[in-house]
Amino acid sequence: MRSIKIYLVFASIYLLTAAHVGSPNIVFEGNAGPYKLLINIQPPDVVPGLAQVSARITEGKASNVSVQAIYFRYGGDKAPDPEAAKQVAGDANLFAAELWLMAHGSSSVKIIVDGEEGRGSTVIPVPALATAQLEMESELGVVLAILGLILFVGGATIIGTSTGEATLTPGDAINKKKRNKAVLVGVSMLFVFSGVLYLGNLWWESEESSYQRYMYKPVELAASVNESRVMRLHLKDEGHFDRKAGDLIPDHGKLIHLFMISDKDMNTFAHLHPVKFDSVNYDVLLPDLPAGKYNLFADVVHQSGLNETLVTQISLEAPKAQTAAMPIAFTDENEQSQSKISRDEDDSWYRFTKPEGQQQKIGKYIMTFEQKADKKFVAGQVESLKFSLTDENGLPVVLEPYLGMLGHSAVVKEDASVFIHLHPVGTISMAAQEMLADKISDDITLCVVLDSSNYDMSNLKSLNPNQITSMREEIFKQMEEKGLSNEVSFPYAFPKEGKYRMWVQVKVNGKVVTSGFDIEVDTAPEVI
């Protein structure tokens, strides 16, 4: 086997967050019973820590909203009581709350809504993972050191004095014996206090060491490619809360969603689905991607509902001519076992072409970014990023379910410091939501997975404009009657300013259609 050189992404990128690279906020758009919600959660980067939760009621009239932290390990029965969210002044549909996440591991925030239509609830995966260690400000450290020194010396002096002058009756003078005793006791207390400080320092170092052990360490990802253009992903897991090697579960029917994006120019994009070889190795047949360095982002979900995005880099050589389409074998280093795989029908790849304004032509289709050309995107502000698909004549094209959703999207910052895999419900993993909901006895509203049983795909040919009409209104009318759409939107809040590329994927006539759009995000204005 000829290995291709691996490049590791900087460790600081790993530690930005667990499930989203450089994009810690969790955005969810969905239902809690009869109420439609838009949720934005900012998880803490230290644990214990406060999560900031905002909930906007977009459909239905709510009177109360409460939030509750629920851990996978303990379930709903052992969860703390829900805490009421406060209505934001001047906005009857917006509620905000601060919620303590006290323990490390796979956790979630349960949203409970009460209103005119009764009670509804849903659960949003929010990993409680320490990704940072706060440092004391140097000025505060100096102040505390001075105060500590005063207490150290003052305490010894007070105790020494209490055995000398404090024992005298009013008007008596202290004698030499009592003075020596006071000095001896005071000096002795300096040694006692020094011992207390030493033991306190040992305790502090123990606590810091324990915290370091609890800090999130992602599964390490390594990649190599053999002569047959099969990439092997190797997952190295040293263990962590609610996670172990080989415990991956399918999300949208796939164990791993692998995104490959060419470094620097970001012009080449691939969304692939490696298959399991063993508990730590996964293989995927590469398409004919051009040579160069690629950033790899692998989305996985563990049995605990903990979802992660694993990252690495790889350099590919130019593809060689392949023989007839046969199962491709990947031989391990000991050449004792092989993995024969074929290409997944949902695998897709695309070479970026610059859009014309807000539209990009992909074959016989046109993808439109339904935003004003002069739209200003601001960091931290939740947006609904909407796209529509038409044919060359401008007539709507019906979107089919693609991996359980109307569409998928990947957002990457130009320096690869931010990556997020988006769905129409937001940034959450539906598999993670389902696993966490199983730990709650209440009736929880979950995201709907689209397939032929709940998405009316019957008689699609009747929507062919050549058979019906060339009028857009008539096509839209029939689409509405059948519960179909040519639009997809993704709720998201860009975490920081800069240039981003957003890849949008939908399925039409059994084929994945991919397009790309560039977005520039401004700094959020300062609040005075």
Instruction: List, as one string, the DSSP characters of 219-245.
Output: PEEEEEE-TTSEEEEEEE---BTTB-T
Examine the domain organization and report whether 108 and 176 are in the same domain. Answer: no
* Domain membership flag for residue 230: no
DSSP-assigned letters across all residues of 143-184: HHHHHHHHHHHHHHHHHHHHTTGGGSPTTPPP-HHHHHHHHH
What global pTM score does this model have? 0.82
Q: What stretches of 403-449 show up as alpha helix (H) in DSSP?
A: 430-437
Helix axes 138-162, 176-214, angle to 10 degrees: 150
Examine the domain organization and report whether 121 and 190 are in the same domain. Answer: no
Please give the residue range of the domain that contains residue 57: 16-125
Examine the domain organization and report whether 84 and 151 are in the same domain. Answer: no
C-alpha to C-alpha distances, 189 to 151, 156, 158, 178, nearest whole angstrom = 12, 5, 10, 16
* Domain membership flag for residue 174: yes
* Domain membership flag for residue 435: no
**Beta pairing class for 419-422 and 268-272:** unpaired
Examine the domain organization and report whether 192 and 151 are in the same domain. Answer: yes
Examine the domain organization and report whether 154 and 111 are in the same domain. Answer: no
State whether residue 474 is helix, strand or coil.
helix
* Domain membership flag for residue 269: no
Examine the domain organization and report whether 101 and 37 are in the same domain. Answer: yes
> According to the model, what pLDDT value does residue 15 have?
38
Domain boundary, last residue among 70, 95, 125: 125
* pLDDT tens digit at each of 528 positions of the chain: 333 333 333 333 333 445 678 888 999 999 999 999 999 999 998 888 999 999 999 999 999 999 999 999 899 989 999 999 999 999 999 999 999 999 888 999 999 999 999 999 999 999 888 877 777 788 888 899 899 899 888 888 888 888 877 777 787 777 888 888 888 888 898 899 899 989 988 998 888 887 777 777 888 999 999 988 999 999 998 767 678 778 899 999 999 999 999 998 999 999 999 999 998 999 999 998 999 999 999 999 999 898 899 999 999 988 776 443 333 333 444 333 445 678 889 999 999 999 999 999 999 999 999 998 889 999 999 999 999 999 988 889 999 999 999 999 999 999 999 999 999 999 999 999 999 999 888 889 998 888 877 887 766 656 665 554 556 777 788 778 788 899 999 999 999 999 999 999 999 988 999 999 999 999 877 655
- Gap between the Cα atoms of 403 and 277, Å rounded: 22
* CATH code for the domain in which residue 74 is found: 2.60.40.10
* Domain membership flag for residue 170: yes
Contact 13, 416 (CB under 8 A): yes
* Domain membership flag for residue 110: yes
Structure tokens at 482: 């059948």
Domain boundary, last residue among 153, 181, 214: 214
> According to the model, what pLDDT value does residue 465 have?
55
- Gap between the Cα atoms of 266 and 89, Å rounded: 43
Structure tokens at 369: 């970014």
Domain boundary, last residue among 94, 125, 156: 125
DSSP state of 434: H
* Domain membership flag for residue 326: no
* Domain membership flag for residue 293: no
- Gap between the Cα atoms of 471 and 131, Å rounded: 54
Examine the domain organization and report whether 23 and 104 are in the same domain. Answer: yes
Examine the domain organization and report whether 67 and 102 are in the same domain. Answer: yes
Examine the domain organization and report whether 94 and 40 are in the same domain. Answer: yes
Number of domains in the chain: 2
> According to the model, what pLDDT value does residue 459 have?
62
Examine the domain organization and report whether 113 and 145 are in the same domain. Answer: no
Examine the domain organization and report whether 155 and 193 are in the same domain. Answer: yes
Examine the domain organization and report whether 21 and 100 are in the same domain. Answer: yes
Please name which of 269, 306, 254, 511 lies closest in space to residue 411, comparing C-alpha atoms. Answer: 269
- Ramachandran angles phi, psi of 6, nearest 5°: -105, 140
Contact 18, 129 (CB under 8 A): yes
> According to the model, what pLDDT value does residue 173 have?
78
- Gap between the Cα atoms of 126 and 49, Å rounded: 13
Q: Which residues are CB-contacts of 314 (< 8 A; sequence separation ≥ 6)?
A: 4, 5, 6, 7, 223, 224, 225, 231, 293, 294, 296
